[in-house]
Amino acid sequence: MNDPTDPPRDRLFADDPGMLVDFRFDSAVARVFPDMIRRSVPGYGEIIGLLGLFAERYTQPGSTLYDLGCSLGAASLAMRRRIPHPDCRIVAVDNAEAMLERAREHLAADPQPTPVELRCADLREVPIEDASVVVLNFTLQFIDPADRLPLLERIHHGLRPGGVLLLAEKIDFANELSHDFHTGMHLAFKRANGYSELEISRKRSALERVLIPDTLEQHRERLGWAGFQRIETWFQCFNFAALAAFK
Ligand code: GEK
């Protein structure tokens, strides 16, 4: 039986014909987002928790942390719990007001002292300054491929020496066998989490032109072009991976 305090269940692609167009981060998505991402992205909860650990280790005194494409603020909340310095702040950015509205509520209910500035803006236009940690958690994949390198260059420029970019993405595979294996396992993960074939195929069509994944090799190469010195892959589950890129 469902606990009445459970987050609302994602049935967007089961019964909303409006979602048959391109995927949008609107109020319907914001309402079910925690359930949607947990049932769709293997390792999401683990990654969010570990972002807190990165913040604990890599936040520099007096610096700014950025959460770009913050959605409901999960990464900001995880980092805020473990930032070891009292004089830091977090800038959390999203261009979907419906997502930010809920992020505002979640942050207000959280007692941690680090200030979080929520900005409704296109993350491509937000200045990155005096940063020690920058998070792009499942967000770069939604940015126009032509804008990805300039964004990473700006992030690199805005990081202090020793600062880190934490990048998590859905990934593609150049090798067909690898592609089929990982996407097949992801499909099994979604089925096991209660999504029907219809929901899975409708969501795939809605995301087709909106979420464009790169391979891990493309990510590593581009991060190198942007100036990052050292790149570590610290998580992978099927076609989802997380990287830490150090300045
Ligand atoms: C999490 N990081 O829970 N400018 C600002 N925001 C954008 C842009 C843009 N150009 N494009 C997309 N977004 C979160 C999860 S979700 C991932 C990130 C997913 C925002 C968009 O509005 C959405 O909130 C977020 O990026 C992507 O750790 O839904 O798979």
* Interval 7-16: pLDDT, tens: 788 777 676 5
Q: Is residue 13 part of a domain?
A: no
C-alpha 94 to ligand 1 mean position (Å):
6
C-alpha 207 to ligand 1 mean position (Å):
13
Asked if 65 contacts 133 with a C-beta cutoff of 8 angstroms, the reply is yes
Identify the residue whose tokens are 């074939």: 197
pLDDT of residue 24: 80
Ligand 1 atom closest to Cα of 122? 4
Give mean pLDDT, residues 161-170. Answer: 98
pLDDT of residue 198: 84
Q: Is residue 66 part of a domain?
A: yes
**Packing angle of the helix pair 216-225, 145-158 (nearest 10 deg):** 50
Cβ < 6 Å from ligand 1: which residues?
A: 25, 69-71, 74-75, 93-96, 99, 122-124, 137-139, 142-143
Backbone angles phi, psi at 233, to 5 degrees: -90, 120
Q: Is residue 233 part of a domain?
A: yes
Give mean pLDDT, residues 112-138. Answer: 98
Instruction: Express each pLDDT in 10-44 by its tens digit.
Output: 777 676 555 556 778 888 888 888 889 999 999 99
Residue 3 has pLDDT above 60, yes or no: no
Q: Is residue 141 part of a domain?
A: yes
CA gap 181, 41 in Å, rounded: 16
Atom 10 in ligand 1: residue holding the nearest Cα = 122
pLDDT of residue 151: 98
Give mean pLDDT, residues 66-79. Answer: 98
Give mean pLDDT, residues 175-189. Answer: 97
Q: What is the value of pTM for the model shown?
A: 0.94
Ligand 1 atom closest to Cα of 48? 28
Q: Could you list the residue range(s) of the whole structural domain that residue 159 is in?
A: 44-172+211-246
Residue 100 has pLDDT above 70, yes or no: yes
Mutate which of 29, 31, 94 for ligand 1 pocket (most atoms within 8 A of beta carbon): 94
Instruction: Express each pLDDT in 186-220 by its tens digit.
Output: 999 999 999 888 888 888 888 888 899 999 999 99
Backbone angles phi, psi at 241, to 5 degrees: -145, 155
Going by pLDDT thresholds of 50, 70 and 90, the confidence category of residue 137 is very high
C-alpha 137 to ligand 1 mean position (Å):
8
Q: Is residue 218 part of a domain?
A: yes
Instruction: Read off the CATH number of the domain in which 79 is found.
Output: 3.40.50.150
Question: For residue 196, what are the contacts with CB-CB under 8 A and spacing of at least 6?
Answer: 14
Q: Is residue 107 part of a domain?
A: yes
Q: What is the DSSP string of 147-186?
A: HHHHHHHHHHHHEEEEEEEEEEEEEE-SSHHHHHHHHHHH
C-alpha 71 to ligand 1 mean position (Å):
5
Instruction: Identify the residue with better confidence: 57 or 18.
Output: 57
CA gap 12, 45 in Å, rounded: 21
Ligand 1 atom closest to Cα of 25? 22
C-alpha 138 to ligand 1 mean position (Å):
7
pLDDT of residue 81: 97
C-alpha 40 to ligand 1 mean position (Å):
15
- Number of domains within the chain: 1
Q: Is residue 19 part of a domain?
A: no
Q: Is residue 203 part of a domain?
A: no
Residue 1 has pLDDT above 60, yes or no: no
Atom 9 in ligand 1: residue holding the nearest Cα = 122
Give mean pLDDT, residues 121-136. Answer: 98
